[in-house]
Structure 1
Amino acid sequence: MQKFDVLIVGAGMVGLTLALALRKNSQLSVAITDTTPLAQIDNEHDVRVSAINIASKNIFDNLGIWSEISQNRHQAYQHMHVWDKASGGKLDFCASDGDAFPPQDHLGWIIENKVIRHALWQKAQADEGISFFTDSKLASIAVGDSEVFASFAAPENPNARSSAPSMPILAKLLVGADGANSWVRQQMDMEMFFKDYDHHAIVGTVKCPQGHQNTAWQVFLESGPLAFLPLESEHNDLCSIVYSTSPDEAQRLVNSDKVEFAKALTAASDGKLGDIELVSERFTYPLTMRLVQNFVKDRVILIGDAAHTIHPLAGQGVNLGLLDAIALVDTLCAQPTNELANAQALKAFARWRKSEASEMIAAMAAIKEMFAPKPAPLALIRGLGMNILNHVAPVKNTFISQALGIKDNLPSMAYKIQ
Structure 2
Amino acid sequence: MQKFDVLIVGGGMVGLATALALRLKDDVRVAIVDTQPLSDITDDHDVRVSALNEASQQFLKRLDVWQAITEERHQAYQHMHVWDSQGYGHLDFNIDDISAKDHCGQLGWIIENSIIRRALWQRAQQDNNIVFFTQEKLTNLAMGESEVFATFATQAPIVANYVVGADGARSWVREQCKIALTFRDYDHHALVATVKCQAGHNNTAWQVFLPTGPLAFLPLASTNNDLCSIVWSTSPEQAQQLQAMSESDFNKALTAASDGKLGRCEVQGIRQSHPLTMRYAREFVHDRIILVGDAAHTIHPLAGQGVNLGFLDASALAQMLTDKSMSASNALAYYQRWRKADAMEMIAAMESIKQAFTPQNEPFKFVRGIGMSLINKLSPAKKLLIKQALGYRNNLPELSQIIR
Scaled to the shorter chain, the TM-score interval is over 0.9
Contact 1:140 1:152 in 2 (8 A): yes
Amino acid across the alignment from 1:302 = L
Alpha-carbon offset, residue 99 of structure 1? 4.7
For residues 297-345 of structure 1, what are the alpha-carbon distances to aligned partners after superposition, in whole Å with 9 as ceiling and x for unaligned? Answer: 0100000000000000000000000000000000011138xx98x2221
Alpha-carbon offset, residue 384 of structure 1? 1.9
Aligned to 2:18: 18
Aligned to 1:414: 400
Are residue 292 (structure 1) and residue 286 (structure 2) matched? no
Q: After the TM superposition, which residues 121-270 of structure 1 pair with which residues of structure 2 at under 5 Å, given as runs? A: 121-153=121-153, 165-270=154-259
Aligned to 1:94: 94
For residues 220-254 of structure 1, what are the alpha-carbon distances to aligned partners after superposition, in whole Å with 9 as ceiling and x for unaligned? Answer: 00000000000000100000000000111111111
Task: Measure the CA separation in 2 of the matches of 1:22 and 1:417.
Answer: 21
Contact 1:22 1:28 in 2 (8 A): yes
For residues 367-409 of structure 1, what are the alpha-carbon distances to aligned partners after superposition, in whole Å with 9 as ceiling and x for unaligned? Answer: 0000000112211221122112100011111111111001220
The number of aligned residues is: 404
Amino acid across the alignment from 2:17 = T
Change (3 A) 1:190 1:335: farther
Moved more, 238-247 or 386-395: 386-395
Task: Measure the CA separation in 2 of the matches of 1:25 and 1:378.
Answer: 50
Task: Measure the CA separation in 2 of the matches of 1:2 and 1:404.
Answer: 41
Residue segments in structure 1 that go unaligned for 5+ positions in a row: 154-164
Are residue 281 (structure 1) and residue 305 (structure 2) matched? no
Task: Measure the CA separation in 1 of the matches of 2:51 and 2:14.
Answer: 14
SS of match in other structure, 2:343: helix
Task: Measure the CA separation in 1 of the matches of 2:2 and 2:214.
Answer: 48
TM-score computed with the length of structure 1 as normaliser: 0.95
Aligned to 2:81: 81
Alpha-carbon offset, residue 49 of structure 1? 0.0
Contact 1:95 1:104 in 2 (8 A): no
Moved more, 9-18 or 398-407: 398-407
SS of match in other structure, 1:280: strand
Task: Measure the CA separation in 1 of the matches of 2:148 and 2:257.
Answer: 52
Are residue 358 (structure 1) and residue 347 (structure 2) matched? no
SS of match in other structure, 1:361: helix
Amino acid across the alignment from 2:379 = A
Task: Measure the CA separation in 2 of the matches of 1:114 and 1:261.
Answer: 26
Residue segments in structure 2 that go unaligned for 5+ positions in a row: none
Alpha-carbon offset, residue 101 of structure 1? 6.7
SS of match in other structure, 1:281: strand
Aligned to 1:347: 333
Aligned to 2:5: 5
Are residue 371 (structure 1) and residue 357 (structure 2) matched? yes
Contact 2:392 2:402 in 1 (8 A): no
Contact 1:95 1:105 in 2 (8 A): yes
Aligned to 1:54: 54
For residues 239-278 of structure 1, what are the alpha-carbon distances to aligned partners after superposition, in whole Å with 9 as ceiling and x for unaligned? Answer: 0000000111111111111111111110011100001000
Alpha-carbon offset, residue 281 of structure 1? 0.4
Task: Measure the CA separation in 2 of the matches of 1:23 and 1:222.
Answer: 47
Aligned to 1:403: 389
Amino acid across the alignment from 2:401 = Y
Aligned to 1:162: none
Aligned to 2:115: 115
For residues 38-87 of structure 1, what are the alpha-carbon distances to aligned partners after superposition, in whole Å with 9 as ceiling and x for unaligned? Answer: 11211110000000000000001111111101100000000000000000
Identical residues among aligned pairs (%): 58
Task: Measure the CA separation in 1 of the matches of 2:122 and 2:334.
Answer: 32
SS of match in other structure, 1:4: strand
For residues 116-171 of structure 1, what are the alpha-carbon distances to aligned partners after superposition, in whole Å with 9 as ceiling and x for unaligned? Answer: 00000000001000000000000000011100000012xxxxxxxxxxx2210000
TM-score computed with the length of structure 2 as normaliser: 0.98
The two structures, once aligned, show a CA RMSD in angstroms of 1.3
Contact 1:100 1:394 in 2 (8 A): no
Alpha-carbon offset, residue 110 of structure 1? 0.1
Alpha-carbon offset, residue 416 of structure 1? 4.3
Amino acid across the alignment from 2:67 = S
Contact 1:97 1:103 in 2 (8 A): no
Task: Measure the CA separation in 2 of the matches of 1:215 and 1:323.
Answer: 25
